[in-house]
Amino acid sequence: MSRVALITGGAQGLGAAAAKRLLNDGFTGILLLDRNAERLAREAAALSKLGNIKTLACDLADAATPANAIATCVQEFGRIDLLFNAAGNTARGAISDVNSSTYEGLFNVNVKAPLSLMQEAAKVMKRQKSGTIINVSSMIAYGGKPSLAAYSASKAALNALSKHAAQEFAWDGIRTFVIALGWALTEGEIAVQAALGLPADWAQSNGAEMPSGRLISPEDIADLVAYLCSPSAQMMNGAIIDFEQMPQGMFRQHPALKSSA
Ligand SMILES: NC(=O)c1ccc[n+]([C@@H]2O[C@H](COP(=O)([O-])OP(=O)(O)OC[C@H]3O[C@@H](n4cnc5c(N)ncnc54)[C@H](O)[C@@H]3O)[C@@H](O)[C@H]2O)c1
């Protein structure tokens, strides 16, 4: 039986790790979408040893991309079983300084593009009477540091749309999920932290502060993606999964206090 995924942000990080895991799990075709054509070609060449990979180099900020992506997936593989929206815009902007260009960029890529992709994918999944949609959001959707205000709002909007998609498509055999991601060590995050000027060992030192002693890896997320689109998760729909080691609101006590104080 053929199983097909469309993965946005497939050139690296979460998208690439999920593609690898799904091919190893028996997915028969994957369309990887990314705006970075060079990295996309490189990743696709590596993954093609595991299975049938097609690529689409385009920008999700372009309004024509979502419909084109779903049409390409159907043209190449005849169906779509998983839409994994991993690509995201992580631009900074606080309440006091966010400008309309940053705001629009965030909402175009983090809200409008996933909405259009869900609309177009649902048409195909309804015909199949099956499908899984997984949108990558963030723990920051619940609030965070000031510079992430506009990003937070865009991910909160994605959470809301995903909850509604889960409800709207439930009777069509389509299940929709959100991964509210915590701090993950991806190529994208490495680039962000380098641009912010953090020292080269930031991932090790910040990871050491975590309960597990490390940051989340793309492979950790790939495990969850594989589970959510498997028969084992058929009884789940609409969950926003907080994929983070530090629950919302958690803070580290002073070592002098007992852990329950
Ligand atoms: N890394 C983290 O700590 C973290 C935390 C919370 C949420 N997230 C979310 O995880 C997802 C992955 O982000 P990441 O920074 O870890 O990067 P990543 O390393 O997983 O790569 C993201 C990929 O998306 C592609 N992409 C970005 N914008 C695009 C666009 N407009 N059109 C097409 N492709 C585009 C990039 O080229 C890149 O290849 C995003 O949705 C982000 O908001 C990340």
CATH of the domain at 32: 3.40.50.720
Helix pair angle (13-24, 187-196), 10° resolution: 170
Q: Is 183 in the pocket of ligand 1 (CB under 6 A)?
A: yes
Residue 257 CB burial class (10 angstroms; 0-12, 13-18, ≥19): exposed
Ligand 1 atom nearest 140 alpha carbon:
6
Asked, for residue 259, whether it belongs to a domain, the answer is no
Cβ–Cβ under 8 Å, residues 113 and 157: no
Give me the pLDDT at residue 24, please. 98
What band does 188 get if pLDDT is binned at 50, 70 and 90? very high
Which whole-number Å values give the CA distances from 126 to 76, 168, 169, 216, in the listed order?
19, 11, 8, 34
Per-residue pLDDT reduced to its tens digit, 203-246: 999 999 999 999 999 999 999 999 999 999 999 999 999 999 98
Q: Concatenate the DSSP letters of all residues of 147-185 into one string.
A: GGHHHHHHHHHHHHHHHHHHHHTGGGTEEEEEEEE-SB-
Q: Is 59 in the pocket of ligand 1 (CB under 6 A)?
A: yes
For ligand 1, mutation pick of 8, 34, 102, 155 (most atoms within 8 Å of CB): 34
Cβ–Cβ under 8 Å, residues 12 and 188: yes
Per-residue pLDDT reduced to its tens digit, 106-133: 999 999 999 999 999 999 999 999 999 9
Please state the domain count of the chain. Answer: 1
Cβ–Cβ under 8 Å, residues 30 and 22: yes
What domain range includes position 9? 4-243
Chain center to CA of 174: 18
Asked, for residue 253, whether it belongs to a domain, the answer is no
Give me the pLDDT at residue 190, please. 95
Number of helical (H) and strand (E) elements in the chain, helices listed first: 9, 7
Indicate the DSSP class of residue 31.
E
Per-residue pLDDT reduced to its tens digit, 146-177: 999 999 999 999 999 999 999 999 999 999 99
Asked, for residue 249, whether it belongs to a domain, the answer is no
Q: Is 207 in the pocket of ligand 1 (CB under 6 A)?
A: no
pTM of the model as a whole = 0.97
Indicate the DSSP class of residue 214.
S
> Residue 260 above 70 pLDDT?
no
Per-residue pLDDT reduced to its tens digit, 70-83: 999 999 999 999 99
Asked, for residue 261, whether it belongs to a domain, the answer is no
Give me the pLDDT at residue 247, please. 86
For 261, the 3-state DSSP assignment is coil
Spatial separation of the C-alpha atoms in residues 241 and 34, rounded to whole Å:
24
Nearest Cα to Cα of residue 183 among 203, 169, 158: 203
Asked, for residue 226, whether it belongs to a domain, the answer is yes
Asked, for residue 255, whether it belongs to a domain, the answer is no
Q: Is 13 in the pocket of ligand 1 (CB under 6 A)?
A: yes
For ligand 1, mutation pick of 68, 189, 219 (most atoms within 8 Å of CB): 189
Computed on alpha carbons and rounded to an integer, the radius of gyration of the chain in Å comes to 18
Asked, for residue 76, whether it belongs to a domain, the answer is yes
Nearest Cα to Cα of residue 37 among 51, 21, 56: 56
Q: Is 217 in the pocket of ligand 1 (CB under 6 A)?
A: no
Give me the pLDDT at residue 249, please. 77
Ligand 1 atom nearest 216 alpha carbon:
3
Give me the pLDDT at residue 241, please. 98
